[in-house]
Structure 1
C-alpha cells in the first residue's frame, strides 16, 4: 500500500486544513464534496507520478498512477461541467506540479524552495472553496491564504530543525526568528490569533532540544493544526 498511500503526515494536513478554513469562512455547498474528492484524487495521483519520476521505477508506480488517473478523469470532468471556470485554477496547479516534477527529477524534493511551492499550491485551495461557496470575498480568502502559508512555512522550518537539520544552529535560529516575525504579522491581521502563533513560537524554541522520532513530530504537529483550526473557526465563522 505504500505505493498508493503517501505516508507524509504534513502533506495530509496541508491537503485538508485550507479546505476546512474555506468551509469555516464561506460555508459548505454540496458541490464542495465533489471539489474535495477531486482535490484528494489529484494529490493521490501526484504521489506515484513524482515517485516514478524520482526513482525511474515504472514497474512499481505505473499501476497506482493509472488507477488514480482513471479515477480522477471522470470526477474532474464532472466538476468542470458544473464549474468550468476552475480550469484556470487547474492551469495554476499544473505549473506548480511541473516545478515539483523538476525537483523530483533532480532528487531534491526536500529542498526548501520545493516545500514553499507545495505550501503555496496547497493553501491556494482556499480560493476554489470560496468560489464554490458563491461568494466573492477575495479579501477574506486572501487573509486565510496568508495565515495558512505563514503557518505551513513555519512548520516546514521547524520540522527541518527536528529531523533533517537537527543540530543546525542556523536553521534553529532562523526558525525562531521567523516565528517571532509571524507573531507580529498575525497580531496585525487579527489579534485573536496571537495565542495560537505564540504557542507555535514556543514549540519552535523548546521541542528541537528533544530527540523526537518523525512519527511523534507528525502527531504533535497535527495537534497544533487542530488548535489553529479551532482558532480560525472561532474568529472567522
Structure 2
C-alpha cells in the first residue's frame, strides 16, 4: 500500500527538488524588485499550476503512458485554464510573455521524447524558462527599470547554471575530473562577472558558491545531504540578492 501511495504521489507531485527553488526564487526576485501586490498571489498560483501541469506532460511525452499521466494532466490543466483566463483579463500584458516560454518548453519536450532529460542543454533550457518568470512578476508589480530587471535575470541565470554544474559533479559526473574542472571554471567566471556587473557585496555569496563547487565534490557527501545544503545556499543567494540589489 505504501509503495502504491508513493507511486501515485510521484505522478502528481514532481520529485525534482531543485526545480522547486527555480520555481520560487526568480518569482520572489521579480516581485520584491517591484511592488508586491495581491495579483502576485494569483500569478504564483498560476505559475505553480503551469509547473505541475508540464511535469506529467513531459513524462507523457517521454513514455506515452496516458493511463499514468492523463489524470494529472487533466487535473492541473483543468485548474490552470480558468486561472490563466482570469489573469489575462486582469492583466492582458501577460499575453506578451507567453511566446517567450514556448521555445524553451519545446527544447524540454525534445529531450523528454528522447529520454535525455538529464542532458546539460535540457537543464539549461529549464533554467532559462524558470528565470523568465522574474520579468513577469516584475512587470506585474509595476516595475519600469528593465535594465535592473535584466541584471537580476542575469544573476539568476548565473546562480542556477552553477547549480547544474555543481549537482552533476555530485551525482552523474562525480568521477569525471574534466567536468569538475568545468564546474570550478564556471564558478570562477561567475565570480568575475559579478565583480564587474554587480555591487561588491554580492561577491560574498558568489565566493561561498565557488567554495562549494571546489570542496564538496571532493568529499563523500551524500545526495540527500547535498540537497539539504542546497536549500541553505538558495536562501543565502536569495536574501543577499534582495538585500544588496
Q: Aligning the two structures, in what range does the TM-score lie when normalised by the shorter sequence?
A: over 0.9
- 1:187, CA displacement in angstroms? 1.6
Deviations 1:25-72 (A, max 9, x none): 112011111111110000000000001111222111110011000000
2:172 matched residue in structure 1 = 164
- 212, 234, 242: which is aligned to 1:233? 242
CA distance in 1 between counterparts of 2:36 and 2:125 reads: 27
Deviations 1:133-174 (A, max 9, x none): 112110110010000000000000010000011110011000
Range with bigger deviation, 132-141 or 85-94: 85-94
- 1:218, CA displacement in angstroms? 1.4
1:224 matched to 2:230: no
1:114 matched to 2:122: yes
CA distance in 1 between counterparts of 2:22 and 2:143 reads: 23
Q: Secondary structure at the match of 2:12?
A: coil
Q: Is the 8 A contact 1:50 1:104 kept in 2?
A: yes
- TM-score of the two chains, using structure 2 as the length reference: 0.94
Range with bigger deviation, 170-179 or 21-30: 21-30
CA distance in 2 between counterparts of 1:91 and 1:217 reads: 35
Computed over aligned residues only, the root mean square deviation of the Cα atoms, in angstroms, reads 1.0
Runs of 4+ with deviation above 4 angstroms: none
CA distance in 1 between counterparts of 2:140 and 2:191 reads: 31
- 1:87, CA displacement in angstroms? 1.3
The structure, 1 or 2, with the larger RCO (C-alpha pairs under 8 Å, 6+ apart) is 1
Q: Is the 8 A contact 1:48 1:61 kept in 2?
A: yes
Segments of 5+ residues of structure 1 without an aligned counterpart are: none
- 1:23, CA displacement in angstroms? 2.3
- TM-score of the two chains, using structure 1 as the length reference: 0.97
Q: How many residues are treated as equivalent by the alignment? A: 236
CA distance in 1 between counterparts of 2:171 and 2:164 reads: 11
Q: Secondary structure at the match of 2:174?
A: coil
CA distance in 2 between counterparts of 1:74 and 1:212 reads: 45
1:146 matched residue in structure 2 = 154
- 1:24, CA displacement in angstroms? 2.4
2:55 matched residue in structure 1 = 47
2:69 matched residue in structure 1 = 61
Segments of 5+ residues of structure 2 without an aligned counterpart are: 1-8
1:210 matched to 2:219: yes
